Each structure stands twice: as structure tokens, then as C-alpha cells.
Amino acid sequence: MTIDAKPIKLRGAARALAWALISTTALTSPVLAQTAPAPMPPAQGQQQAAMAQPPALVGSIAYILGTVSFHDDQERDWAPAVVNFPFSTGDEMWTEPDGRAELLIGTARLRLQGSTQLFATTLDDKLQHYELARGRVDLKVGAIIAGQTLEIATPRGTAILAANGDYVIEAGTTEDATRIGVRSGSARFRDVNNKEFALAAGQIGVLSGPQEQAQFEMLRQAPPPMPQEWAARDRIYTAAPAAAQSYTAAPELTGVNELSYYGDWSNNSQYGRVWAPRNVAADWAPYRYGHWSYVQPWGWTWIDDQPWGFAPSHYGRWVNASNRWYWVPPQERTRVVYAPAVVGFLDGTSLDTVLGAAAGAALASVAWYALGPTDVYVPWYTRDRDYIRYMNRGYIRDQREIDRRLDYLERRDGRRDDREEQRWNSANRRWASAVRALSSTLGS
């Protein structure tokens, strides 16, 4: 299968090759209105820090309705948001008055609507910190990661969510009141003078008055319910499988709670619990329908077309049995690390290699395939061996196999060794998807 390529210009701190590879399935994007606010400025040194240690916790843009805009920490202009695009530190969302968006970050669901601006200042294992500059966010938190704090900063202070639950936060302004409602769970609110107020389920906290003399008022009344339009999304996450087929994911594994709605869990004698999608095309295969996008700090990242495509594209492995594809998730209850795409490339040729040619050079084809449970994942964005060993934990039992693979890739220096290649020959190579790049443009 050949995938058409469309060049775009990417901006960053250093020169980056401006290629986006899009599938034959078109992505439709809304026309941006002119009322979007100015994005938050990029954090100094943010990209360099991320490159040193790629973040383990990454969210996704799970749902879009109406006009929704997005930008990352490398962009100063808004662009149309795309479903299944990763969401991490430095990213920002804006919903127009007609816009609705849902972000998934681990088990947390953040719902934005009606002129809402949300900026992720920090997303990692210890802290989820967002700035709600304006508008309203509804949150459902399924399981807070052990040792992690979840905070929503507003113009008048910061809401600190202390437990799993259901919350609503209205940003307000320095003149208008800020409100936090606790439908279930518990929270604290810390104002700009570092005074804290506790809230329990069934309470609303209101901070109003002049900024220097703001008053906190506790209303013992039920917060407004989650807007009814989100009920359909809730049904996706509550489509629980039979207990015997359930899979207990680590709370960092974004998107796994959607899978029961779109597919079937079963027990495999060799791999344990596996998941298979329903209602896919006859020629469907992992990493076939979607597109590549250049996303810092990982580089080329797979954006899947399927609404459930985030988790199976960035975690776990795939296996084909009796002409049906099964996703083999990470080990239950073990910490997971996000990957931009868990794929291998034929002949060891990656997107960076093919698209890294000079402007105007003739570019070759590149083909990729989903890695199987016994395949070593070798990321193209780092050569940190401890990191790579961790990424393969639970799949490659003999850690020496990982080092052998890395040793071969380092010493071959572009030369092919057929005997070594045969050693790493994946069973999934026969289902590889390919693209031929037609031209390239260097951006700054």
C-alpha cells in the first residue's frame, strides 16, 4: 500500500525536515475562527529537557466537536486539533464557543467546551499541572497515579484534586469569581496568597472579590452536573468486559479504557489477555490507516485514524493469529512508558533516515510494521540503553537480546548483514505498510 505525502513546514529550535505523511483516508479540519487567544509562550529549555528524558506520561486528544485548536511548545500559532494527537508538557488547547474537546491523560478525562483555554505546564509521573486561563473544564479522574498530584491553576488560585472523583472548575478572571465543584472525591483550593480551603463531595467553592482581598465562600449544594452531551462519551468508558476477560492497566496507560467499547478482550494461552478490534476494513493492519507527524521530543509519531487507536499505537505489541490481529498490552499493573510508534522498519531504514536527506534529493521508500511480542523495540529518538531496556520490559525476557540488537545496529554503520537481519526477522514483516517520499523541504 502506498501512502500519499503532503509537505508542511514545521518550526522548532533547530532545523527540522518538514514532512507529514498522510494516508489516503483524508483528515478533515475545521476552519479556525479569528477569536482564539494568544498561545502561552514556549517554556525556555523545555525541549532540551524533554530530549534528555522523554516523558513517560503522555495524553491524547480523544474527541473533537466543532472548532478546536491546538499548539505545542514549538509553535506560536494555533492549528486545527486532530484526534489521537499526543498531548504533553507545553501543549495547549482552545475551544471556540461551538467547540468541544476531550483529553485523556492516563485515567483522567478533561472535557473542554465553549471558549476554554487549557495549557499543560507539567505532565509527568509526579505532577499534572494545567493552567485554565479561561472557560470551564469538567474532569473525571479514575485513578490518580501513586505519588502524583493533579492541579488546575486559575487566575485566582489553584485547585488541587486529592482523590479520584468528578469535578468542575470555572476559571473566572481577576474580576470574576472562580468556582470549583466537587461532585465526588475531594479537593483543596489554594488562593494567590497561599491560603488553602478544603472541599468535599457535594460542595462548591467560590472565590470572589478584589484580588488582594478575595473571599472564599463554601456552598453546601450539589455542583452542576456534567453536561448531558458527554453522556455518550461516558458510555464508551463504562463498557466493561466480563470479569474473566478484564485487563488491569497501569494508570499511566492512556486510552486503554476505551478499548472494551470498540473490541473484544480474550485470554490467550501464550500472551495472556489480548484485545482485538471490531468493525475494521478487510485489509486493516496496525499502523496502516493513519499518518506520521513530527512531534517533539520523539520525532516521527504515528497518528491513527481509528477512535480507539491511541493506546494500541503507543504501547504493547501486536500478533496475527488466524488472520485476525490481537493487541498484546503491557503487563498488568506495571508502569508503562509512551512510545511514538511501536514499529520496526524494513532493512532498518527509518523515517528519519529517508526524510533526513538534503533538500531536492531523491528519496527512497520506507516500510514499517507492528512489532510482535518477541521483537526488540529500538526507538529512533534515543540510544539510552537503560531507557530502551525499560521500554522492552515484559516482552524480551533475556536482556542480552536487547544489547545484541543495539550492538548490531551501532556497528553496522549502514551496512547490511543478512545473517544478523535474519536473526531479527519479525513474523509481522509480511504486513508492512510503505510510503515513497517524493520531495523534501528544510525548515528553520
Q: For 404-408, what is the mean pLDDT?
A: 83
* Choice between 162 and 355, residue whose per-residue pLDDT is larger: 162
d(CA 317, CA 301): 16
pLDDT score of 274 more than 80: yes
- 347 falls in which pLDDT band (50, 70, 90)? low
Q: Which three cell numbers stand for residue 213?
A: 482581598
Residues of the chain with pLDDT > 70, as a percent, come to 76
- 364 falls in which pLDDT band (50, 70, 90)? low
pLDDT score of 329 more than 70: yes
- 142 falls in which pLDDT band (50, 70, 90)? confident
pLDDT score of 77 more than 60: yes
| Ordered structural domains, the chain, with CATH | 41-234 (2.60.120.1440), 259-443 (no CATH)
pLDDT for the residue numbered 120: 95
Q: Which three cell numbers stand for residue 104?
A: 485523556
d(CA 378, CA 356): 18
* pLDDT (tens digit per residue) in 177-197: 999 999 999 999 998 888 899
pLDDT for the residue numbered 275: 94
Q: Among 291, 295, 292, which residue's Cα sits nearest to residue 74?
A: 295
pLDDT for the residue numbered 246: 67
The pTM of the whole model exceeds 0.75: yes
Alpha helices per DSSP H over 343-394 = 351-355, 385-391
pLDDT score of 42 more than 80: no
Alpha helices per DSSP H over 131-246 = 231-237
* pLDDT (tens digit per residue) in 16-36: 322 233 222 222 233 333 345
- 69 falls in which pLDDT band (50, 70, 90)? very high
